[in-house]
Amino acid sequence: MLSVDEALARVLQAVRVKGRETIHLVRAHGRVLAEDLVARRSQPPLAVSAMDGYAVRAADADRPGAVLRLVGEVPAGRTFHRQLQAGEAVRIFTGAPLPAGADAILIQEHARAEGDRVVVEKPVARGRFVRPEGLDFVAGWVGLRAGSRLDGRLLGLAAAMGHAWLRVRQRPRVALLSTGDELVLPGELPSGSRIIASNAVSLAAFVEAWGGEVIDLGIARDDPADLAHHLTDARGIDFLVTTGGASVGSYDLVQQTARSLGLQLEFWKIAMRPGKPMLFGRLGETIFLGLPGNPVSSAICAIVFLRAALRAAQGLAPELPLKEARLAADLAANDERQDFLRAQFLAAEGGERWVRPATLQDSSMLATFAHADALIVRPAFDPPRRAGEQVRIVELQEVLAA
Ligand code: AMP
Ligand code: MG
């Protein structure tokens, strides 16, 4: 059996970085920037007021009781067109440009207006409450680097820098296909031994969060003709992800049917738990991941392999972010398979994070997985571990978000 690391390296080797496209920034949330972004303007474009008050010459307002002549007003977006003379003040509001000659803002809390006169209550120092031109950023600054994933903050910055259209990586397209005679679509309440197909629901959400675009191919029955028909629907799509039918049962038809359609199998079976029977290959130009049917297996295989592949396809670092935590229970020696144990955080003690593995780790147990905080990642042949020892973990919220 292939180790998880070897399998992951093989998957990543097959991934090509997607091409670029130009899109409007209101549609660019979560996308990856394909080129550096340079500020087309400075912010603020001129020296502006940081407060509501009076634009003054600090030398005229250097003592309580000084009296200034109010000669006009400048709100944000306007300009005061004449030079401020000695003893003059201009009513000014946050974001408005400083009149020429003014060098400080006397905030309104420190002044008293009396008709066309302004009485200084608290003196003001030169430069006070003035935002100089380019305080935030200057034209020509490389504000965003190629390879950044765009969140709301970066998009706001791109807009402020003067960009409305952005060059980004195309989203990798991912076809999801569930397989099994026992499956019904969510919305139906099945009778007898049938169950609701939940895998594709989780996977679709993961794929979206990882920057991919989902094409839902529905459910294929455990029938070679029906399966072949559904598999063919993924032609031209970057990734095809199936769940179920990947092991050695006589109804596990995925590999056999995909082979008949020209599957070039790269590997099948990985030394991991859960997820051992995952298969990986190419079907034409499409990268094919055949995930096991058990919900926890398919989800963890997706977290380990599909997440890495989708990130690589967008030029992002594919590694799982591993962290350390302290074990809250003993663990027996591990066998030849790398283990991903569902676990919960305990209340933090002395700033240290403690994790408790769930007592039952059956790969069908979606409830345990859904309420887990972390996966404890145990190498193959890890010796027995005692409570209190350090282990490596993956935080689920983190890896499911990006
Ligand atoms: P299989 O690999 O097809 O033998 O499936 C393994 C287990 O996963 C079986 O108990 C299936 O019923 C279950 N399973 C397969 N596909 C799904 C799915 N889409 N949603 C939930 N459970 C599934
Ligand atoms: Mg099945």
Query: How many angstroms does the Cα of residue 216 sit away from the middle of ligand 2?
Result: 18
Q: Sorting pLDDT into bands at 50, 70 and 90, what band is 248? A: confident
Q: Rg (Cα) of the chain, in Å, rounded?
A: 31
Backbone angles phi and psi of 93, in degrees to 5 = -125, 160
Ligand 1, atom 10, lies closest to the CA of: 294
Instruction: Please work out whether the CB of residue 199 comes within 6 Å of at least one atom of ligand 1.
Output: yes
Can you say whether the dihedral through the CA atoms of 264, 268, 272, 276 is positive or negative? positive
Q: Are 301 and 292 in contact (CB under 8 A)?
A: yes
Instruction: Please work out whether the CB of residue 281 comes within 6 Å of at least one atom of ligand 1.
Output: no
Instruction: Please work out whether the CB of residue 247 comes within 6 Å of at least one atom of ligand 1.
Output: yes
Would you state the pLDDT for residue 250? 79
Does pLDDT of 117 surpass 90? yes
User: What are the residues whose beta carbon lies below 5 Å from ligand 2 (ion)?
Assistant: 180, 244-245, 293
Q: Sorting pLDDT into bands at 50, 70 and 90, what band is 200? A: very high
Determine the residue of 185, 188, 198, 199 to mutate for testing ligand 1's pocket, defined as the one with the most ligand atoms within 8 A of the Cβ atom.
199
- Three-class secondary structure assignment of the chain: CECHHHHHHHHHHHCCCCCEEEEEHHHCCCCEECCCEECCCCECCCCEECCCEEEECHHHHCCCCCEEEEEEEECCCCCCCCCCCCCEEEEECCCCECCCCCCEEEEHHHEEEECCEEEECCCCCCCCCEECCCCCECCCCEEECCCCECCHHHHHHHHHCCCCEEEEECCCEEEEEEECCCEECECECCCCCCEECCHHHHHHHHHHHCCCEEEEEEEECCCHHHHHHHHHCCCCCCEEEEECCCCCCCCCCHHHHHHHCCCEEEEECECEECCCCCEEEEECCEEEEEECCCHHHHHHHHHHHHHHHHHHHCCCCCCCCEEEEEECCCECCCCCCEEEEEEEECCCECCECEEEECCCCCCCCHHHHHCCCEEEEECCCCCCECCCCEEEEEEHHHHHHC
Query: How many angstroms does the Cα of residue 276 sit away from the middle of ligand 1?
Result: 14
Determine the residue of 179, 195, 365 to mutate for testing ligand 1's pocket, defined as the one with the most ligand atoms within 8 A of the Cβ atom.
195
Chain centroid to CA 272: 26
The pLDDT tens digits of the residues spanning 17-41 come to 999 999 999 999 999 999 999 999 9
Q: Sorting pLDDT into bands at 50, 70 and 90, what band is 48? A: very high
Rounded to two decimals, what is the model's pTM? 0.94
Query: How many angstroms does the Cα of residue 12 sit away from the middle of ligand 2?
Result: 27
Instruction: Please work out whether the CB of residue 183 comes within 6 Å of at least one atom of ligand 1.
Output: yes
Does pLDDT of 251 surpass 80? no
Query: How many angstroms does the Cα of residue 86 sit away from the middle of ligand 1?
Result: 83
> Kind of pairing, strands 279-283 and 213-220?
unpaired
Integer Cα distance of 27 and 378 in angstroms: 40
Instruction: Please work out whether the CB of residue 53 comes within 6 Å of at least one atom of ligand 1.
Output: no
Query: How many angstroms does the Cα of residue 191 sit away from the middle of ligand 1?
Result: 16
Would you state the pLDDT for residue 107? 98
Query: Distances from the Cα of 179 to the Cαs of 39, 221, 236, in angstroms?
Result: 50, 6, 20
Does pLDDT of 247 surpass 90? no
Would you state the pLDDT for residue 249? 82
Instruction: Please work out whether the CB of residue 363 comes within 6 Å of at least one atom of ligand 1.
Output: no
Backbone angles phi and psi of 260, in degrees to 5 = -65, -20
Instruction: Please work out whether the CB of residue 48 comes within 6 Å of at least one atom of ligand 1.
Output: no
Ligand 1, atom 5, lies closest to the CA of: 293
Ligand 1, atom 14, lies closest to the CA of: 293
Percent of the chain past pLDDT 90, that is, above it, reads: 97
Q: Sorting pLDDT into bands at 50, 70 and 90, what band is 103? A: very high
Q: Sorting pLDDT into bands at 50, 70 and 90, what band is 252? A: confident
Integer Cα distance of 221 and 230 in angstroms: 9
Which atom from ligand 1 is nearest to the alpha carbon of 277? 2
